[in-house]
Structure 1
């Protein structure tokens, strides 16, 4: 393929400043492939990068949730072929630091990621190291296939919780991750999963999927009854949600901190409650080994995704990063 071909990319040059620009295909290095991007999800982390509250290397083409078809191969590529439909694990691990050597590569101290430190998927083409590629059945909708990355993160978080069948839980925050979390917890065998979410359209989506919901502002009496749950999950990353999770969790239970709070943000919390109730406060960050499971679940149709996804164009991305459509949609996915 000629490297003179120009194609559109969305480039973030500094916090709050991005534009669509034409760029030429780069030359592929050893063990790299060129992916023609079919779809790329817009993530909360992309929003933090856009606002400068998440560490990234700028300028960069954002987007770490994407899927597409292999268009060209660099030298030494042996395990994939042109035309294959793939999804991408965006994280590149050094394989030499202590975390990598201890089998926790997602905690790599030298990690780089497509869409964060290197150009990502909000572009018609993206260069991807071969080891980051995962095959997907060709008939799967790219708007769903690109969601293997966030589903992988959810699965890793739930692995950290070690969920048992028959448990009761609440998810705080009904954005896309919260909606995925509801469904994944139910798939793991929980008998009751409640969504706590102030926005009506997000509660409606969860209600239509069969989940009970609570508006924490208009239903304060329901919040006081929300207690003695086996575990709670903070998918909101705002206000006093973490304290609400602590209050709603039973003695000996678990609180999963899933939300990506902005770097440097501090929260008021009462350590006595964690101490007295002997709670486990569990962090979770990206994932090391769950992408194949996520792809299988997508291929099987285990998640209801149609009601969560809105297809958008590259020209609309900045509006979503600025939160201008938050009261209308759950998950924006760029269709290329």
Structure 2
């Protein structure tokens, strides 16, 4: 209830001024977490701030944080649309159906949904190829683990998260055949207490490297206390550098937000499907610190360069599914359709993906 009150208050305050600025392009953002989460939502809000800097008084931005995935998201987006917002960015997977529902009622408003797959005439989708960054993290993890156990904190079991686990494991295994991954799911994008508990449980099981697809810095705090290493997620989390945070995946949404807002201003906006990676700048690799040996750093950066050049794809065969069924033949590269719907672990990973 407290989160709902915060959200409603923030919307009322944020939109009150916007209603009197009809000459401006109004841009709305719906966030699943707080803007200071240090991870996913903070990354999106950084993009919003950069949007404001770029356009100055030509735009008016509004946002609501801590919006649960479900009916609340639909209510918030409806309120935004009713108050004259021109384009709304819904920034979490669970906002997908609410976005489609609201968009159908407001055909003149443009909607952009992050990490989803449902489009409409006035709904675009966009996401980042986080799995490229996971390949680099997996390489570092496989080289640096001494226990040969890497812990991975999964958030919500959707293809995006499964892809990341697979990519990290494939590349850790390439450089360290003895490596083992242990995965704990928390079924939320952000819950610092659950994230901390999951990290501690993985550390107690022998992990000395912690990977995460969750939004807070709690896993890094647990890794620091245990003398393990970890990686920033979605934002740089550089406050924990040079150790335990030895690198990070950084989501840079600003160029996309600027481009799509400009399209609204120009009258050229159309429904699109964008999936950007390291080459496009949508995925950044945070500084690899000196806690990582020089040769390992060089290896990781060489992989980054190859991904950017298009000479290497993280999902290149031979690869089998968890049950040993052949998936990709030698040299075969997974297509985007297979990656977008990934619902299986690769061979070598243990445990089941929750349904």
Structure with higher strand content:
1
More helix by share: 2
Both proteins in one fold, TM over 0.5:
no
- Report the TM-score when normalising by structure 1: 0.36
